[in-house]
Amino acid sequence: MPMAEAPLAPGAAIGILGGGQLGRMLAVAAAQLGLRCHIYSDDPKSPAFELAGAKTHASYEDQAQLVAFANSVSVAGVEFENVPASTLATVSAHVPVYPSPKVLAISQDRLSEKEFLRENGVAVAPYRRVDSVEELAAALKEIGYPALLKTRRFGYDGKGQCRIGSEQEKAQAVKALAAGPMLLESVIDFVREISVVVVRDRNGDTRTYEPSENTHHSQILTRSLVPAHADQMVLKTARETAQEIALQLDYVGTLCVEFFECEDEGDHKLLVNEIAPRVHNSGHWTLDACVVSQFENHIRAIAGWPLGGTDRHSNAEMLNLIGDDVAQWSTWAKDPHTAVHIYGKDEIRAGRKMGHVTRLTPKTERSR
C-alpha cells in the first residue's frame, strides 16, 4: 500500500467509501479543516453526496471508477465496515486507506473479530463457530439457552441475528438466516451497555472520548448518555481496553468498542460485544459536547494532522430520530439546549436512522 507521509494541507482531497450519514458528517468535518471530500457510493440518493466536494456514483465492483476515485484523492477512508475486499484491494493499490484492509477483514467477520479479541486477552461472551445444523445443536448443548445465532458477515443494527430461547426457536433461526457460516453466542445478562470511541493517529498517538451509556430498542441504538452511571474504575478499564485494541490493530482513525458491563457477586467486569472500525452512532454526542468531535478527529488522524482534544465541556444525551421520530424536528428545535441533526434522507422508513438530537446540560461527574 502506498504510504502517506506529510500531513495533508488544506485544499487536499480525502476519499470516503460510503455515502450514508456518517460520510455526510465526515464531509462536514473535513470542510471545517479546509479539506475536500470525494464520496464514492453505489446509492444515487446517498445523503453524503449533498455535502461532498466531489462524488462518484458507481458499483463497488467497478474497477475503472475505483481507480479514478483513488487517483483523485490523497488518502481514503471508509464510512461502513462492509466495503467489499476487492474494492479495498483496488483502492489501496493506489492510495493509502485508513483503517487498513487488514483491520476491515477482521471486523467484517464476527468469528475473526472474536478470535482476534480473545487472542489479545480481551474478554468476550462465550461463542462457538457454527457451519451446519449439527454443529448448531452441539454448540447449544455447550452454551445453553438463550443464545444468539448470528451470520458471520454483513450484520448491523440487529440484522443477521436471531435469538434462540428454546428447541422450537432453533429451527426458526436456522431458516431465517439460511445457509452460510454462522456464530453462536451466549446471551449476556448485563447491568448496562457502554461504548468507548477511541482515535489513533499515524504516529500512534491515541486518545479516548468518555464512555457513553447506551440504550437499544429492537437492536437499534436509541440513546447515548454521558457521563455513564458506571463506576469510575469500570470506565477507566473500558478506556484502557479500547486503547489496547487500537494498538494491537495498528489502527489509524476513529474506532468504537462496545462493552457489556456485567455483575457477578458484587464484582463488575467488562465483556467486549463488538468493535466498529469507523466513526460510530454512540459517539455522535461529541459533535456538540466536545471541542473536537469524533468526525473531525477521524479526518485529522487519516490526514496526518495532530489529534484534537477529546474532553467534554458538557453533559450530553444523544437521542436517535428513527423513522417517524424525525417528524418532531420542530419540537426539538424549540429547545435552546438541544442540537438538531437531520441526515437529509429521501424516504422515511421504520427502523431507519433519519437524524439525531443532542441535549446539553452543565458538566458534572457521575459515579456510583
List, for residues 155-205, the tens digit of each pLDDT value. Answer: 555 567 788 988 878 877 777 666 578 899 999 999 999 999 999 999 999
Distance CA 153, CA 182 (A): 8
Residue 97 reports pLDDT greater than 90: yes
Q: Give residue 273's pLDDT band: very low, low, confident or very high (50, 70, 90).
A: very high
Q: Tell me if 346 sits within 8 A of 275, measured CB to CB.
A: no
- Look over the chain and give the mean of its residue pLDDT values, rounded to a whole number: 93
At residue 158, the pLDDT reads 55
Residue 159 has a pLDDT of 65
Which CATH code of 3.40.640.10, 3.40.190.10, 3.20.20.80, 3.30.470.20 fits the domain covering 192-362?
Answer: 3.30.470.20
Residue 13 has pLDDT above 70, yes or no: yes
**Domain residue spans in the chain?**
13-98, 126-186, 192-362
Of residues 181 and 329, which shows the higher confidence score? Answer: 329
Amino acid at 233: M
The CATH code that applies to domain 126-186 is 3.30.1490.20
Residue 239 to residue 73: CA distance in whole angstroms: 33
Task: Please state whether beta strands 127-130 and 147-151 pair in parallel, antiparallel, or not at all (unpaired).
Answer: unpaired
* Residue 112, C-alpha cell as written in the block: 475473526
Confidence of residue 268 (pLDDT cuts 50, 70, 90): confident
Percent of the chain with pLDDT over 70: 95
What φ, ψ does residue 261 adopt, rounded to 5°? -95, 120
pLDDT by residue (tens digit) across 118-167?
999 999 999 999 988 888 889 999 999 999 998 888 655 556 778 898 88
pLDDT of residue 176: 63
More confident residue, 178 or 286: 286
What's the confidence (pLDDT) of residue 125? 95
Amino acid at 142: E
List C-alpha distances in Å: 103 to 88, 178, 302. 11, 27, 14
For helices 63-71 and 85-92, the axis angle rounded to 10 degrees is: 40
User: 90-114 as b/e, with b when 16 or more CB fall inside 10 Å?
Assistant: bbbebbbbbbbbebbebbbbbbebb
In CATH, 13-98 is 3.40.50.20: yes
Whether the CB-CB separation of 147 and 140 falls below 8 Å is answered with yes
Beta strand 75-78 pairing with 97-98? parallel
Confidence bin at 2 (pLDDT 50/70/90): low
User: What is the pLDDT, as a whole number, of residue 368?
Assistant: 40
Q: Per residue in 200-248, pLDDT tens?
A: 999 999 999 999 999 999 889 999 999 999 999 999 999 999 999 999 9
At 367 the pLDDT is: 43
> CA 257 to CA 38: how far, in whole Å?
27
